[in-house]
Structure 1
Amino acid sequence: MKIVRVQYTTTQEYVATNKENIRQVVNELKSINHPGIKYSTYLLPDGKTFMHFDQFENGEAHEFLTALNSFKKFADELEASELEAEPKLELLTLVASTEDFFGE
């Protein structure tokens, strides 16, 4: 299993665009219904810091996400925007959970 947490801060002007791009990624993932991807994004109380929390069955599932057209659009536009804080990516290790993940 691969668990990824990414956090970054956009400008206030870019928040609506980022939310829409994230919705497009989620909509595409829902339509595909890939069993090895759990994808969620949160907005922190400052209203412009985003935190993505993703669980993947394996590295291939992560690569599947990043190859989606909606994800490429999201990533390209985010990179071109003027971020206040660059993305910080962390790989996490599951210790315990009330939920079963991918047969773990």
Structure 2
Amino acid sequence: MIAVKVSYTVDGAYVQKNQENIQIFMEDFKKLSGNDFRYNVYLLNDGKTFVHLSHFKNSEIQNKVLNVPSFKEFQRQRDESGLNNTHKLEEWSLVAATTDILNEP
């Protein structure tokens, strides 16, 4: 399993547009079949820092999800909005969980 955390801060004027773009790609993610990934997006209390947490069964599923056109468009617009070097990507290794994150035995 692959677990990834991405965080970034946008300008206050871009927060609403970023949320709209997130809703668009999330609707497309929901259309993908199976239980091979989980993807959640959070907004921190500062009102402008977003955190994306994702879990993928494997790299093939990860590549499929991350190449959804609406997600690529979201990334383009987000990056062009001016992140001021706040973009941070971390890959994690799962140690333990209270539930089977991807419904795996």
TM-score range, shorter chain: over 0.9
Residue number in structure 2 paired with 1:30: 30
Q: Report which stretch shifted further, 6-15 or 76-85.
A: 76-85
The answer to whether the 8 Å contact 1:11/1:48 transfers is yes
Following TM superposition, by how much is the alpha carbon of 1:32 offset from its aligned partner in structure 2, in angstroms?
2.0
Q: C-alpha offsets along residues 31-61 of structure 1, whole Å, 9 cap, x if unaligned? A: 2234211000000000000000000001111
Cα deviation, residue 85, structure 1: 4.3
Amino acid at match of 1:47: G
Residues 41-56 of structure 1 correspond to what in structure 2 (within 5 A)?
41-56=41-56
- Kept in 2: contact 1:10–1:85 (CA 8 A): no
1:75 maps to 75
Alignment-derived partner of residue 62 in structure 1: 62
In structure 1, the residue matched to 2:18 is 18
User: CA RMSD for the aligned pairs?
Assistant: 1.3
Query: Structure 2, unaligned stretches of length 5 or more?
Result: none
Q: Offset of 1:84 from its aligned partner? A: 3.9
Asked if structure 2 preserves the Cα contact closer than 8 Å seen for 1:15 and 1:48, the reply is yes
Q: What TM-score do the two structures reach when normalised by structure 2? A: 0.92
Q: Which runs of 5+ in 1 are unaligned?
A: none
Name the stretch that deviates more: 85-94 or 50-59: 85-94
**Taking every aligned residue pair, what percent have the same amino acid on both sides?**
38
Q: Distance in 1 between matches of 2:26 and 2:83?
A: 22
Output the TM-score relative to the length of structure 1.
0.93
| Structure 1 segments of 4+ aligned residues over 4 angstroms from their partners | none
